Structure 1
Amino acid sequence: MKKQHSFTSVTRKVTLVVAATMVFASATCLTGCKKDQKTAPETVASATPADKAAVTESYQSGTHNGFFWSLWKSDGATGTVNYANGTGGNYSVNWNGFNGNFTCGKGYSVGSATYKIGYNLSTYANSGGGTFGWYGWSRSPYYEYYVNETWGAVSPHTGTFLGTFETDGAGYNVWTRWMTGKDIDGGDGFRQIYSSRVTKTSTAQNHVITFANHYNKWKSYGYTLGQLNIPAIMVSETWGTNTNGNINCTIWAQ
């Protein structure tokens, strides 16, 4: 999580909304804008980190094996990012000498308060800031939400600490903060709400995120998510200067 900014930029937020809207218009492919159509989902899906750098426009998205996926890079970002969709809910990403902010991941074209997500994080290394976990947005009211399972060299924890609770065999700290940037529809200001594991998740083991438990805990503190008809993904993010890392993750519905 950036020190003073949201995980997202205005460009990414607006594009994500366009992408989410197009889900309802097309059951076969979801893309953020016309530029995204230059790289079809199948092209990215067949790439492997060793084969092909993900030379992208600012945002790409699509569907693969029944999952929604997306890859976003901040304007002016430099360095190499290689993203690949694997079998089923698997994806991988590696990056070298990266300057800026990127997010990527696999999930669903719309969020839900009742999702129960299984995941296995087989590899995680991140020399910069950023996080790995369940991520999405709501409208009415606008919330940017996270369930942080692990993070890079810079801690994402900031804002107002609300408390600690346990779910799925792990302790989570709950934080919130008001952001002065643009929401996903271009309006001014929005709130972040997030749960972060007290202890970072382990790799090469199966884990579960029962999102309803986080949703209800946030609600108990007075922060109730609004409409969730926006994509939600198991996100991998980094930000910083000259960062390096690699992540391999598989998700499934429990």
Structure 2
Amino acid sequence: MKKQNPLTSATRKVAFGAAAIVVLAGATILTGCKKEEKTQPDVAGIERPSKAVTETYQSGTHNGFFWSLWQSDGATGTVNYANGPGGNYSVNWNGFNGNFTCGKGYSAGSPSYKIGYNLGTYSNSGGGTFGWYGWSRNPYYEYYVNETWGAVSPHTGTYLGTFESDGAGYNVWTRWMTGKNIDGGDGFRQIYSSRVNKVSTGQNHVITFANHYNKWSSLGYTLGQLNIPAIMVSETWGSNTNGNINCTIWMQ
């Protein structure tokens, strides 16, 4: 990653190809990380890219929280990301073609995290999910706790059963990915819990991550080192997608 100078004003506009991304944050920007694009079959008229692409990654700290914004190269359309007070952030996008993720969280993951959050607004005409997200090393896992999702269901791979956490039912899925992991090596595993019923907006909710970590471990999928940032992620992918998300997180 190539580290750039800190932002000198509250607003900085960064252009990636034909896509314009507006970041509202007084934070250091990191660029140049690469991650393999995941593959997904066409569903409901939404096509996800099936080849590896160069991607752009930005991250920093804001009010004690880690934040990041990632998007695939060659994307078109407009994405507006803003860091609000405390653990709040918002993102809206129009006519977006490609894949992006963004969110606020912490500079390292932990199996003991208990995350409170309020999803004030959620609309997403594309694919992609909203929930707790991160990576582990040794072994390489990309993990999700999916609280809600856009127009396309995230339920793919091998179904491993259902369990209850924080008063909600979750389905567990896993699949092996042949793309590049976060360190540029070949292959990694996805593991995720996905709510049986999508979360409601405008109410306080909790994710007790230990419940998911322990459930995955009991099924033979134990995460590795978690000294990698973890965020409450907002994601979209697809063609000509539009959406608006506002979220606030805190540590319980």
Structure with the higher helix share, 1 or 2 = 1
Q: What count of residue pairs does the alignment treat as equivalent? A: 215
Residue among 22, 38, 47 paired with 1:54:
22
Answer yes or no: is 1:150 the counterpart of 2:119.
no
Structure 1, unaligned runs of 5 or more: 1-14, 16-32, 45-51
2: CA distance between counterparts of 1:41 and 1:110?
27
- Structural mapping, 1:54-93, within 5 Å: 54=22, 58-93=56-91
Q: Secondary structure at the match of 2:170?
A: strand
2: CA distance between counterparts of 1:42 and 1:224?
41
Partner of 2:109: 111
Q: Secondary structure at the match of 1:95?
A: strand
Partner of 1:239: 237
Partner of 1:7: none
AA aligned opposite 2:151: A
Partner of 2:46: none
How far is 1:34 from its partner?
2.4
How far is 1:54 from its partner?
1.3
Percent identity, aligned pairs only, is: 84
Superposed CA offset, 1:204-238 (max 9, x none): 00000000000000000000000000000000000
How far is 1:42 from its partner?
4.9
User: Cα gap change, 1:60/1:40 in structure 2, threshold over 3 Å: closer, same or farther?
Assistant: farther
1: CA distance between counterparts of 2:117 and 2:6?
31
Partner of 1:4: none
Superposed CA offset, 1:151-194 (max 9, x none): 00011110000000001010000000000001111111110000
Partner of 2:165: 167
Partner of 2:130: 132
Residue among 179, 182, 187 paired with 2:180:
182
TM-score, normalised by the number of residues in structure 1: 0.81
2: CA distance between counterparts of 1:235 and 1:155?
16
Structure with the higher strand share, 1 or 2 = 2
Partner of 1:99: 97
- Structural mapping, 1:24-35, within 5 Å: 33-35=2-4
Q: Secondary structure at the match of 2:176?
A: strand
Q: For the Cα contact (< 8 Å) 2:102–2:233, is it kept in 1?
A: yes
Structure 2, unaligned runs of 5 or more: 13-19, 24-28, 32-55
Partner of 1:192: 190
2: CA distance between counterparts of 1:208 and 1:239?
26
Superposed CA offset, 1:107-129 (max 9, x none): 00000000000000000000000
Q: For the Cα contact (< 8 Å) 2:148–2:199, is it kept in 1?
A: yes
User: Cα gap change, 1:40/1:144 in structure 2, threshold over 3 Å: closer, same or farther?
Assistant: farther
How far is 1:105 from its partner?
0.1
AA aligned opposite 1:164: T
2: CA distance between counterparts of 1:137 and 1:237?
15
1: CA distance between counterparts of 2:95 and 2:238?
10
